[in-house]
Amino acid sequence: MLFKQQALLRQKLLVLGSLAIGSVLYLVARVGTLDRLQPICHIEHRLVRGPEQIHLRSLQFKRGLLLELRRGNGTKEQLGLQRLVQQLPQAIIIGVRKGGTRALLEMLNLHPAVVKASQEIHFFDNDKNYARGIEWYRSKMPFSFPHQITIEKSPAYFITEEVPERIFKMNSSIKLLIIVREPTTRAVSDYTQVLEGKERKNKTYHKFEKLAIDSSTCEVNTKYKAVRTSIYTKHLERWLKFFPVEQFHIVDGDRLITDPLSELTLVEQFLNLPPRISHFNLYFNATRGFYCLRFNIVFSKCLAGSKGRTHPEVDPSVLTKLQRFFHPFNQKFYQITGRTFTWP
């Protein structure tokens, strides 16, 4: 009996020993596997991002959240948790029509600290909209983080008499962007856009020469809006009654087409933004003949196909007459702004 109990005890000990040895071997193997799976560097080091990347991810999340809110899937509580607000613009692109305002706005939106209003709001140049009040205007602004700058653009602001005073009443220290092109080229571009609209509706339209030149005097017709808009100094002088010249930045619209980064760098400096827009964000599309925008490795976009319309042929003598007409106004514009262009 005793012998059988001793034999049974030895068998149990052998089993327990085998289990213990097996456990040890498993742990050794497990540790070895873990050693082989250890990353070369610590995980927290691999997750470190620069401030601009964090801002960009935040901005992308904000845009998605705003889209969900508009669809009815998001809540204002979610926006509150993310500290998203609708801010009045700290900078406005006030003109000039056909100077490249849309291109400038879209390119500035490449900067992670800039948020743009998608549509032209026409608050200050439209009496009906202006009567709705400043909170209505704010409601048209995009959601943004407090550290971001909101920018809107409405080219009609530059030439509308009431606008400078109205903007001054909202914010006397606001920064104002004006993008200009060679005045005669801009006038023809203005005409081309209107002409295309007329043709789309199967309506006839006068030739540019007939509109730009007064047939009774054979002089430049300053009553024609496309001509009048190109007299930049006349409009700027009205703005200078309310704002010092230091609050304006003049953007070369012709250079923005051929060398956008150099112009965008100057705007970043004017807006006191850290330099974030680089060659990576801009690539030339040979088919379209324009630079397109790259926001990240996944998302890129080009401006609408309506940009860069082909201009109709214009009598060279009329172009020369317009260039001579604009010349003294251009010289005064250079003196006021401190920026010189190679216009005729």
Question: Known binding site: residues?
Answer: 98-102, 181, 189, 291, 307-311
Tokens of residue 57, six digits: 């991810």
Angle at the Cα of 102 from the Cα atoms of 99 and 103, rounded to 5 degrees: 85
Binding site, annotated residues for 3'-phosphoadenylyl sulfate: 98-102, 181, 189, 291, 307-311
Task: Let me know if 98 is a catalytic residue.
Answer: yes
Tokens of residue 343, six digits: 């216009």
- The residue annotated as part of the active site, out of 4, 12, 98, 198, is 98
Helix or strand holding residue 152 (H, E): strand 149-153
DSSP conformational letter for 156: G
30 contacts: CB under 8 Å, gap ≥ 6: none
Segments in the chain forming alpha helices (H): 2-37, 43-46, 51-71, 76-81, 101-108, 127-131, 134-139, 163-170, 183-200, 208-212, 225-229, 232-239, 253-258, 260-270, 316-337
The answer to whether the CB of 220 falls within 8 A of the CB of 322 is: yes
Catalytic residues: 98
